[in-house]
Amino acid sequence: MEWAFTRPITKLLERAETIDSRLILAFDMYPKNSKVEQFIEDSIELLEGLRDYVVAVKFGLPTIMSLGITGVKEIISSCREYYYIADVKFADIGYIGRLIAEILDGVGFDAIIAHTIIGLKGGLEELVEEVKARNGALFALCAMSHRGAEEFLNRHFEELLDTALKLNIKSFILPATMPKYIREVRLKCPNAIIASPGIGAQGAKPGSAIESGADFEIIGRMIYKAKDPLNTARKLKEVLRWRRS
């Protein structure tokens, strides 16, 4: 098997610098009305068209589950220039974490998103060890963007953040819809890499997460549901430039 967690997170930053963008695409589409092969072809065409605007592609479960790892691998290997994040929102025991990391590595992913709430011992510790051994990155979830996240998860934000920092995790997914969390992580951990979803369809304004201290904005529906996704991404890049003037 070809190991592909071979491109550390610096690759994400290098690509951001090269194409001068802070835009990450949330790819959650799936072949609802088309054949899988056609869907894969269309996805490759879309990613080829977005290459000057989008730094990284975050594949979500709707896509991963419906295409299977073979289909996702086909897309990734056809558009290798992107940085790829597997959004499986991992929350399981360490043994399973190691297996998932191995599988995602084989697909060509560079990073995985995991819930910090599983805790260190026999959970996150093992996953992080496995991902690091493969030169990959882990984005920790310590707060989420939907309103219900405030009922349980986000109430433990401080503890979750401390847990992640104990493992030296420096990359986070934090909600653009609740920028106080972005500001707090930026203050506590100036070198953190912060990617924020919640823009567009969930209500936050493009550019707002960056203003609060995020490095990247993760945007899905606003792009792939647009009449002209390429033009929408081009316009988004204008407010999400890597180099600040």
**Among residues 86, 101, 220, 236, the one that binds ligand BMP under rule CB under 6 A:** 220
For residue 21, the minimal CB distance to ligand BMP (Å) is 16
Asked whether position 218 contacts ligand BMP by CB under 6 A, the answer is yes
Asked whether position 25 contacts ligand BMP by CB under 6 A, the answer is no
Q: Which amino acid is residue 125, in one-letter code?
A: E
Report the distance separating Cα 118 and Cα 100, nearest Å.
15
**Among residues 123, 197, 206, 213, the one that binds ligand BMP under rule CB under 6 A:** 197
Site string for ligand BMP, 147-186 (x = CB under 6 A): --------------------------x-x-----------
SS (H, E, C) the chain: CCCCCCCCCHHHHHHHHHHCCCEEEEECCCCCCCCHHHHHHHHHHHHHHHCCCEEEEEEEHHHHHHHHHHHHHHHHHHCCCCEEEEEEEECCCHHHHHHHHHHHHHHCCCEEEEEHHHCHHHHHHHHHHHHHHCCCEEEEECCCCCHHHHCCHHHHHHHHHHHHHHCCCCEEECCCCCHHHHHHHHHHCCCCEEEEECECCCCECCCHHHHHCCCEEEECHHHHCCCCHHHHHHHHHHHCCCCCC
**Whether 132 is catalytic:** no
| Choice between 163 and 177, CB closer to ligand BMP | 177
Q: Among residue numbers 33 through 62, which ones bind ligand BMP (CB under 6 A)?
A: 60
CB 7 within 8 A of CB 178: no
> If binding means CB under 6 A, how many residues of this protein chain bind ligand BMP?
18
* Choice among 32, 58, 89, 225 that is catalytic: 89
Asked whether position 201 contacts ligand BMP by CB under 6 A, the answer is yes
**Among residues 200, 206, 207, 213, the one that binds ligand BMP under rule CB under 6 A:** 200
**Among residues 221, 234, 235, 241, the one that binds ligand BMP under rule CB under 6 A:** 221
| Choice between 175 and 179, CB closer to ligand BMP | 175
Question: Given the rule CB under 6 A, which of 17-25, 69-77, 219-227, 235-243 is the region that contacts ligand BMP?
Answer: 219-227
Q: Which residue is nearest to ligand BMP (CB)?
A: 220
Asked whether position 28 contacts ligand BMP by CB under 6 A, the answer is yes
For residue 45, the minimal CB distance to ligand BMP (Å) is 20
Tell me which residues are annotated as active site: 89
